[in-house]
Amino acid sequence: MKRLAVYCGSATPADPRYVQLARDVGSALAARGIGVVYGGGRLGLMGAVAAGALEQGGEVIGVIPEALTGSNGKGGEVANHDCTELYIVKTMHERKAEFTRLSDGFLVLPGGVGTMDELWEAVSWSQLGYHDKPVGVLNSFGFYDGLLAFNRHMAEVGFVRPAHQGIILAETELDLLLERMEAHQPIVPIVSMDPSTL
């Protein structure tokens, strides 16, 4: 894996462990020679991931919609111009398509609604054959225990096909998660959608 799309929150939780986790992950990826593709902001966990990677001399590619750059005077994530490269796109859909195009997999850290949207789209696009890349969830501090239980529940009820129940790779330790992502074997998708149509 040369690059990973890292999905995480733009918020700064009161618990400092979350921001430190993001910085440590960015640093660890850079130390392994893995580039970071992320949301392009400088706030919260997103900014911490980028800072950690840049401090180690890593590649950081930001992808941010114009409306979130802060250039319109209405706030937003405020673009991080310290990135190795910064892509400014028109829409959130274009942003996620670029994440998929530029990365060799998806690494999900704690986050909110936007992070959930990115995670589930990565899973859905795997099912539909838009990509065959690993989707990893770093379940630090038990943050994703409930989500992983719900994913199992969906499978038990019959809403997730047996062949797709292993799309989400979840671990509490980054090293083990990266090992599993490296060893990822593509699943058989429901259909084989053309990635160029994203």
Q: Would you say residue 19 has pLDDT above 70?
A: yes
Q: Which residues of 143-161 are buried (b: 16+ CB within 10 A; e: fewer)?
A: bbeebeeebeeeeeeeebe
Please state the rounded mean pLDDT for residues 76-104: 93
Looking at residue 5, its pLDDT comes to 98
Return the CATH number at 95: 3.40.50.450
pLDDT at 105: 98
Q: Is the pLDDT of residue 47 over 70?
A: yes
Q: Tokens for 71, please give them.
A: 């250039």
Q: Is residue 50 part of a domain?
A: yes
Mean pLDDT over each residue of the chain, to the nearest integer: 94
> What's the rounded mean pLDDT across residues 83-93?
95
- Is 99 in contact with 106 (CB distance < 8 Å)? yes
**pLDDT tens by residue, 120-172:** 999 999 999 999 999 999 999 999 999 999 999 999 999 999 999 999 999 99
CB 198 within 8 A of CB 97: yes
Could you say which DSSP state residue 128 is in? Answer: T
Establish if 194 belongs to a structural domain: no
Number of domains in the chain: 1
Cβ distance 189 to 129 under 8 Å? yes
Predicted confidence (pLDDT) at residue 195 exceeds the cutoff of 90: no
Domain with 58, as residue range(s), is: 3-184
* pLDDT value of position 72: 58
Contacts of 60 (CB under 8 A, 6+ apart): 26, 35, 36, 38, 50, 53, 54, 82, 83, 84, 85
Q: Among 81, 71, 146, 139, which Cα is nearest to 110's?
A: 139
Q: 144: which DSSP letter?
A: T
Cβ burial, residue 173 (10 Å; 0-12/13-18/19+): exposed
66 domain residue, yes or no = yes
The answer as to whether 9 is a domain residue is yes
Considering the domain boundaries, does residue 78 fall inside one? yes
Residue 197 lies in a domain: no
Is residue 196 situated within a structural domain? no
Residue 63: per-residue pLDDT: 97
> Is 14 within the bounds of a domain?
yes
Return d(Cα 3, Cα 11) in angstroms, integer: 24
Across-strand partners of 171? 138
Q: Of all residues in the chain, what percent carry a pLDDT higher than 90?
A: 88
pLDDT, residue 73, reads: 53
